[in-house]
Amino acid sequence: MTTVILHVSIVMCLMDIGQTGPIHKPIPDQSFILKGLAEDQQRRAALISDDGNGEYIKWKKLEGSFGVEFAWGSARPHIKRALRATQGEPWPLPQVYKTRETLFILNPAHFKINIDKTITNDVITDAINRYNETVFEKSIEITEENFRNAPKSEVNKEMQYDRDELGYINADYLRNLTIQVNSTCDVTSSDRSESTCDPYPSLNSTESYTLTVNSTGIVLRAEEEWGVVRGLETLSQLVTHYRGKFYIKETTVEDFPRFPTQSEVILSHQLEMCLYCQESMAMNKMNVLHWHITDDQSFPYKSEEFPDFSKKGAYNTNMVYTRDDINDVIEYARLRGIRVIPEFDVPGHTYSWGLSYPQLLTQCYYNNKPVPAFLGPLDPTNENVFKVLSKLFNEVTNVFKDRSVHLGGDEVNTDCW
C-alpha cells in the first residue's frame, strides 16, 4: 500500500493566589539571572581551547545553520546542525504567522476557564479540558545547553545569543483567553441521529481560526468547533518554559487547511495504535484517519452479516474490531476533528476473505489444472460476489459515520483472471 499524507467566551485567570484587579507585573528579581550569566561566562571561557597541534573541534557558522568542523590533517569535514531546536513555534506553519519578541507569562496554577453556558458543544468542552493540561505539560524548555557543552568548542565566540534576559524578568502576566465561535452543532450523544446539523467532521467542515496574543490577552476566533480544536493545538505549541515559568510571545496566527483532506493511512490490528495515531494526527492538524482495516493477511472487522470473515480470517478470534471498538475509535477521532474512513480493499488484497468463503475468490491454475488453495482476487464472474459485497458495505456504511468508504482497488494480481 502507498501511504499518502496530504494533508466559546473563555477567560483564563493566570494570576497569583488572591490576586484580583489589573494585570500583575512581577517585581524584577535579577539575582538569579546575573548568577546564571556569570556561570555562562565561566563555561564559555573554559570551552575555548586548542591543543596547538591543529587537532581540534571548531564550530563554524554555515549557511542557515552552525556546523562543527573536525580537523585532522588535511580532512576538514563539516556536520551541519540547527542553531537551536524549534521553541514556541507552531507546526505546521500557519497560513499567516507573525510574532514579536515581547514575552508574557502564563501561570498554570491559576488557570481558570469560563465558558459561555449557552454553548453546549462537547467537542469544544473536551478540547478545553484536554489542552488545559497539554499547554503546560508538553511545553518546550528553552535551552542551548548542548552548544555550551560542546568539547573544545569556539561556538561561544561564533554564536550570538539573542535572548533578552530582562524580557523574561519584566514580562507581564496574561490571564484572559477568549474563545469566540460563530456556529456549533450542539447535540448530545443521545440525539445525534436526529440532529439537523452534522456532529461529525466532514469534507465540508470549516477548520479556519485566528489566534492573537498581545497585552490585552489571548483571543481565539473560529467559524466552527473544528477550528477551535486546531487553534488550541496551535496555542499549546506557542507556550515554552524557562527557569520554572511558562512564557508565550506576542503572536498573530491566521490559519486554515490548504487541502480539505489531510489524511494518514494506517494498517493496524491493535486498538491502542489507532488511538496513538490520532493523537499524532491532532498535533499535526490532520483531519482524516484512513483506516485500512482488512488485507490479505487478516480480516479483523467483526461483521454481523458475515461473522465467519473475522472468525476464520483474523489472526486470532481475540484480534478483531468489535462494534464497540469501532465506535470508540470514531468518537476519539470526532473529539479531535478527525474523520474515520474505512478501507475494505477489493478486489485484490482479499486472501483473508477466502479463508471463510473460498468460492468468492478466483481459482488459480497451473498447466491448465486448478491448484488447491491457490486463490486470486475476488471473482468478477461470480454473481454471489456482488451480493456479498452489497450486504457487507450496507452494514459498513451504517457502522461508520463518514460519508465515504474506500474500496481500495490497488495491486490487483490479474494472473488468475
- Catalytic hit among 101, 133, 158, 411: 411
What gap in Å lies between CA 400 and CA 159, rounded to an integer?
55
Provide the 8-state DSSP code for 15.
Answer: -
- Kindly report the number of other CB atoms within 10 A of residue 371's CB atom: 12
Provide the 8-state DSSP code for 402.
Answer: S
336-355 residues labelled b (16+ CB within 10 A) or e (exposed): bbbbbbbbbbbbbbbbbbbb
Q: Which residue has the cell 588535511?
A: 74
256: exposed, middle or buried (Cβ count in 10 Å: 0-12, 13-18, 19+)? middle
Residues with Cβ within 8 Å of 93's Cβ and at least 6 positions away in sequence, in order, are none
Q: Is 222 in a helix, a strand, or coil?
A: strand
Amino acid at 94: P
Backbone torsions φ then ψ of 101, nearest 5 degrees: -80, 0
Backbone torsions φ then ψ of 171, nearest 5 degrees: -65, 140
What gap in Å lies between CA 356 and CA 267, rounded to an integer?
21
Does residue 411 carry a catalytic annotation?
yes
Cis peptide before 77 (omega within 30 of 0): no
What gap in Å lies between CA 256 and CA 230, rounded to an integer?
9
Contact 98, 312 (CB under 8 A): no
Active site residues: 411
